[in-house]
């Protein structure tokens, strides 16, 4: 499929699980939104994001539920619009999140939530009961709504440092890592999303006209573009992960490995909106976040693993990447209740 904005057929299956009876009813719904029902049997298939968005809207109309029937209370049609109206009336993203999460907590029976500021970090926490955890698709659909609306309110993408979930890791996670963060942790004591607290101070300046445009395109506009695994940037990221940072090639050496000139390498990465330095930084950040979740690995060792001269250099880089120092991030990520 040449369409890059695609969604795995596995997410289509998840959307249908509680919202549509299998068999003829499923075939009829998929055909209406332009998805071949035969694709359900191909686990590698992908469908256009706009077709998935049409499926979401069609099921929402039929069920009068914008959450695929995954909570005992329906998220009735029009809830996303009301959520946005409540939040956009606030002056900052912090108060907008308070209003939006408060509304969703009233609507849902099983997914109350709140945001908490922890110095330079912030987290949105689901205040679940002690029942069995929900399936991963339920949690990620909730995050898709909350994060998508938050990004629209702020007028920029809000980078997610980490998402923790109470449920076991599902068989399929690729799209979730693209949509949210590569740092997903499962079987955790609570479900939460962690991001830089500086985003909370962003002003909200949205008009009624902008709201109408946003809603006219929703939910397709909150589905993040699929990253082509065959892209040059994806291949370079993959290769970097296989080597310790001190063995990462310089630009000229990398270009030679790829049988292109350095200028061609830079141009091709620029066409994908990337730079080699940016790719190296993103992999270093990914590795750092993973290692900070392991208390047995010291900051000095992490700095050495990442190729920094000393722990101080690592501290400065991590603060630049995440808005937080690594000590505070580790403290938050390891501070599990109970």
Residues of the chain with pLDDT under 70: 1-4, 224-230, 336-338
In this structure, the strands spanning 113-118 and 191-196 are unpaired
For the segment 82-136, what is each residue's pLDDT rounded down to a tens digit? 999 999 999 999 999 999 999 999 999 999 999 999 889 999 999 998 789 999 9
Q: Is 91 exposed, middle or buried, given 0-12, 13-18 or 19+ CB atoms closer than 10 A?
A: exposed
Q: Residue 230 has what pLDDT? A: 64
Round to whole Å and give the CA distance between 10 and 77: 25
Distance of CA 244 to the CA centre of its chain: 26
In this prediction the pTM is 0.83
Q: Look at residues 253, 254, 318 and name the one whose alpha carbon lies nearest to residue 281.
A: 318
Q: Convert the pLDDT of each residue in 307-329 to its tens digit.
A: 999 999 999 999 988 888 999 99
Q: Tell me 337's DSSP state.
A: -
pLDDT the model gives residue 3? 42
The Cα 288–Cα 238 span in angstroms is 16
How far, in whole angstroms, is CA 264 from its chain's centroid?
31
Residue from 295, 293, 104, 72 nearest 181 by CA: 293
pLDDT of amino acid 36: 95
| Ramachandran sector of residue 171 (left: φ over 0; alpha: ψ -120 to 50; beta: rest) | alpha
Predicted local confidence at residue 7, as pLDDT:
87
Give the chain's length.
338
């Amino acid at each position: 499929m040449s369409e890059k904005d695609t969604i795995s057929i596995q997410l289509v299956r998840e959307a249908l699980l509680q919202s549509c009876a299998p068999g003829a009813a499923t075939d009829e719904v998929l055909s209406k939104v332009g998805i071949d029902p035969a694709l359900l049997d191909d686990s590698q298939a992908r469908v256009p994001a706009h077709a998935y968005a049409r499926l979401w809207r069609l099921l929402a109309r039929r069920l009068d539920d914008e959450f695929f029937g995954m909570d005992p209370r329906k998220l009735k049609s029009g809830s996303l619009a009301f959520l946005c109206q409540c939040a956009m009336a606030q002056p900052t993203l912090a108060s907008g999140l308070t209003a939006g999460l408060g509304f969703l907590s009233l609507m849902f029976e099983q997914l109350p939530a709140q945001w908490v500021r922890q110095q330079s970090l912030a987290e949105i926490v689901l205040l679940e009961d002690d029942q069995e955890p929900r399936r991963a698709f339920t949690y990620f659909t909730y995050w898709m709504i909350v994060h998508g609306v938050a990004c629209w309110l702020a007028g920029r993408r809000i980078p997610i440092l980490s998402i923790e979930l109470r449920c076991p890791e599902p068989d399929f996670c690729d799209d979730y890592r693209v949509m949210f963060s590569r740092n997903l942790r499962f079987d955790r004591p609570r479900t939460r999303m962690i991001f830089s607290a500086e985003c909370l101070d962003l002003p909200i300046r949205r008009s009624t006209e902008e709201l109408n445009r946003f809603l006219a395109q929703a939910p397709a506009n909150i589905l993040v573009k699929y990253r082509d695994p065959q892209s040059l940037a994806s291949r370079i990221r993959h290769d970097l992960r296989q080597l310790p940072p001190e063995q990462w090639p310089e630009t000229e050496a990398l270009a030679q490995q790829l049988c292109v000139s350095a200028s061609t390498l830079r141009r091709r990465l620029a066409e994908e909106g990337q730079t080699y330095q940016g790719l190296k930084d993103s992999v270093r950040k990914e590795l750092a976040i993973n290692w900070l979740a392991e208390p047995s690995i010291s900051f000095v060792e992490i700095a050495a693993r990442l190729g920094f001269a000393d722990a101080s250099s690592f501290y400065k880089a991590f603060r630049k990447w995440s808005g937080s120092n690594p000590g505070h991030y580790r403290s938050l990520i390891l501070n599990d209740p109970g």
